[in-house]
Amino acid sequence: MRAMKLPAMTAEYLRQRETPVMDSLGFDERIGMMVDAEWRAREDNRIARLLRGANLRLTNACFADIDYRPNRKLNRESIARLSDFAWVKEHRNLIFTGATGTGKTWLACAFGTEACRMGLKVAFYRVSRLLGEMAAAVELGTLGKLLTKLKRNDILILDDWGLARLTPREGQFLLEIFEDRYNECATIISAQLPVAKWYDLFEDATCADAALDRIIHNAHRLELHGPSMRAVPGSITITAQPLQPEGQTPAPTAQ
C-alpha cells in the first residue's frame, strides 16, 4: 500500500490491526473502512490544493458565517439560489456592488471557498494587480500563457473593480479576459461603483462596449447595503436586495 502511495489506507489498516475490537467486524466492512479513509484523505487534499491555488484574500469566509439578522435584510433566497453553483455550469457571472466595507470582498471570497469545496477551480485577483501582471507579461512575451492560465479557472474573482479609470491598453486586457470566458467560464466582480457607471471607467468607448457586453448581460447582481463591516472587529454582516433577473427592477423594500 505504501508503494502504491495509499498512506491513509495504510494508516487505517494499522489502526485496525492495533484495535482488538476490529476483530468482530467482517472482511468487507474492514476493507470498506480502509477505502473510505483513503478516499476522504484524497478529497481533503484536493480541496486544500484548490483553496491554496485560489489565493483568496479572505480564507475563512464561508456561507455558514453569513449573518442573516432581520435588521440586515439579507435575502436568504438569493444566496440559496446561487449556492448550488448552477450559474457556473451555465457560464453566468456574479456582480457585487456597494459602498466601502459592506462585505463585497468577503462575500466573493465566501463563494470562492464554497466553490473550491465543490471541486471547482477558482482564482482571486485584485483588478489593479492583474492588470500589472498582464502588462509585465506583454514585456516578457508571455501574455498568451497568462490568458490561458486564467481561462482554466471555473471561476475568476475580480476584486476592487473600478477604483481607477482604465487606459485603452488596460481596457483591451480586460476585453481579452472577458472574451475568453464568455459562454465558457464564470466570473465574479466586486465593485464600489454601480454597474450603470462602469462604462465611464473606460477611456476607450469601443472597448467599453465590447467588454461590458460580455460580462454584464449574463450576470446575477447583488447590491450590498448597510454600515461598514470594518467598524466592528470580527463581525461579518451584509445586506442585499433580493436577486433579480437581468432587466427587471427590484421590488421596493419595506423600511
Q: Are residues 70 and 39 in the same domain?
A: no
Residue 75 included in any domain: yes
Residue type, 165: R
Tell me which of 54-58, 153-157, 228-232 is least confident.
228-232
What is the number of other CB atoms lying within 10 angstroms of the CB of residue 61?
A: 22
Question: Is the CB of residue 159 less than 8 Å from the CB of residue 124?
Answer: yes
Q: What is the DSSP string of 72-110?
A: G-B-HHHHHHHTT-HHHHTT-EEEEEESTTSSHHHHHHH
Domain containing 205 — which CATH number? Answer: 3.40.50.300
* Percent of the chain whose pLDDT exceeds 70: 86
Cα-Cα-Cα-Cα dihedral sign, residues 14, 20, 22, 25: positive
pLDDT tens readout for residues 82-141? 999 999 999 999 999 988 888 889 999 999 999 999 999 999 999 999 999 999 999 999
pTM: 0.82
Q: Are residues 105 and 166 in the same domain?
A: yes
Residue-range definition of the domain harbouring residue 40: 7-48
3-state secondary structure of 10: helix
> Quick one: pLDDT band at residue 244, thresholds 50, 70, 90?
low
Residue 249 included in any domain: no
Closest CA to 189 of 166, 221, 143: 221
pLDDT tens readout for residues 6-45? 999 999 999 999 998 988 999 999 999 999 999 999 999 9
Q: What cell numbers appear for 173 in the block?
A: 486586457
Cα-Cα-Cα-Cα dihedral sign, residues 98, 102, 105, 106: negative
3-state secondary structure of 157: strand
Q: Are residues 122 and 25 in the same domain?
A: no
Q: How many domains are there within the chain?
A: 2
Question: Is the CB of residue 51 less than 8 Å from the CB of residue 112?
Answer: no
Report the C-alpha gap between 60 and 53 in whole angstroms: 15
The pLDDT assigned to 108 comes to 95
Residue 155 included in any domain: yes
Closest CA to 157 of 236, 93, 81: 93
Closest CA to 83 of 97, 101, 68, 64: 64
Report the C-alpha gap between 151 and 159 in whole angstroms: 17
Q: Are residues 103 and 207 in the same domain?
A: yes
Residue 130 included in any domain: yes
